[in-house]
Amino acid sequence: MKSWKTLFLSMASAVSLGCLLAGCEPSNASTVPGSDSTVQRVIASQIPSLGAATPFAAFGGGAGITNQGVNTVVNGDIGTTGASTMITGFHNASFNFGETPLNIGAVNGLVIGDAPQGSPADLTLAKNVASDALNAFNRLADLPGGIDPAAGLLGGLSLAPGLYKSASGAFLVLGSNLTLDARGDADAIWVFQMASSLTVGGPAAARSVVLVNGAQSKNVYWVVGSSAIINSAGGGTMVGTILAIAGVTISDPGSSAPTTLDGRALAQFGSVTMVNTVIRTPGPSLAVSASRATTKMEEPSPHVVVTGTNAADVAAVADQGFLEIVNNGAHVAATITGTGTIHIVNDGGILTATNTGTGTMTIRSDATGAVTVTITGNGDLTVTATGDEPITLTHTGDEDFTYPALTGVLRRR
């Protein structure tokens, strides 16, 4: 890793830091200085895969994720390598993570972490996410040839696709919005490298990163050597994948205006903090049913965790409560008879799942054993199966379902 990756905000230039602290409005520039030939183009082969981090909207390293406010909606997965108790102010279809009447965040995807709510498989996935995100950071940070278009001050610029690197160590979007112009190329890519910090908007006013002429959020990357602060005044729209060594903070408790991130906030060693934040992640989680995309799930009660072993089969029935089944050995037979919820992680043997009620069942099966699913009610079902055996599906309920064989995901249309 190059030495600049561990530097901090103190390395930012006096003019950039002073502007940030004072909340000044830098003069606007309409275009990048110099011709397009001065901008190092980035091609798809230079962009590393995010791997396990791809479906994650937010990842808090070992420091967790915190939500404040009641208007937060995360469309994608979130997680941490720390204890699941370090995730606060959220709920998904399976758990409530420390929500209060004033701090409610709907997660339409997985929420993963270590015990007590996280399983060993969750922790393994979290570690893979952290590793793949760090690999992506390192490879993007090592791309050579980036230019600094305006001494780190990006507000008011319209940038062509390319590689940009802050000479001072910090990039700031203040005064006016930043425009990313694809010029008709839907595959256009932007990579922003900074040794220290990223700041979008200030305490007085939100700023946005605007995509025009075919630009796509999935093709924008912010490689941040320390921390990112996005719209501390609330409001505004940020785009792209933020890969930060330290933390990411979105909005501020003093604001009720939602801030939107079309992308991801992936922190390695710091937390992700969001206030009334809407995150739309490119490539949704495979573990969330489309029918739950905007539905707030109440905390299930009672909560029962069943762990399978090689000694005996695991049998579980959910009527009104919630059951989590982590199977690492034997045959699993699970049935929903009412409005209950069953979440199954099957790394063991054969899996048989039956939904005769209106509840929700999610299944992830990494075992080689056969998976048999029967739906005779009207409940939602999502299946992610990576084993060698085919899935047998019987459906006699009222809802329409599709099963894309290549992805192994069963979803309600």
Nearest to 46 by CA among 130, 183, 131, 146: 146
DSSP 147-185: B-SSTTB-TT-EE-SEEEE-SSS-EEE-SS-EEEE-TT-
Structure-token match 């990048």, residue found:
32
pLDDT at position 311 is: 41
pLDDT by residue for the chain (413 residues), tens only, comes to 333 433 333 333 333 333 433 344 443 444 554 445 578 899 999 999 999 999 999 999 999 999 999 999 999 999 999 999 999 999 988 888 999 989 999 999 999 999 888 889 999 999 999 999 999 999 999 999 999 999 999 999 999 999 999 999 999 999 999 999 999 999 999 999 999 999 999 988 999 999 999 999 999 999 999 999 999 999 999 999 999 999 999 998 888 889 999 999 999 999 999 999 999 997 543 333 222 222 222 233 233 445 454 445 666 666 655 566 667 667 777 777 776 667 677 776 777 877 777 777 777 677 767 777 777 776 666 666 666 666 677 666 554 444 433 333 333 32
How many whole angstroms separate alpha carbon 15 and alpha carbon 234?
Answer: 24
> How many alpha carbons fall within 13 Å on the CB side of residue 209?
28
- 182, 162 contact by CB (below 8 A): no
What per-residue confidence (pLDDT) applies to 344?
74
Tell me the C-alpha distance between 280 and 240, whole Å: 10
pTM (2 decimals)? 0.64
User: Identity (one letter) of the amino acid at 2?
Assistant: K
Cis peptide before 33 (omega within 30 of 0): no
List the domain boundaries for the chain: 3-53+126-280, 298-412
Bridge pairing between strands 209-212 and 178-181? parallel
> What pLDDT does residue 221 have?
98
- C-alpha dist (Å) from residue 193 to 72, 131, 349: 28, 19, 46
CA atoms within 13 A on the CB side of 267: 29
391-395 and 332-336 strand pairing: unpaired
pLDDT of residue 332: 75
What's the start-to-end Cα distance of the chain, in Å? 45
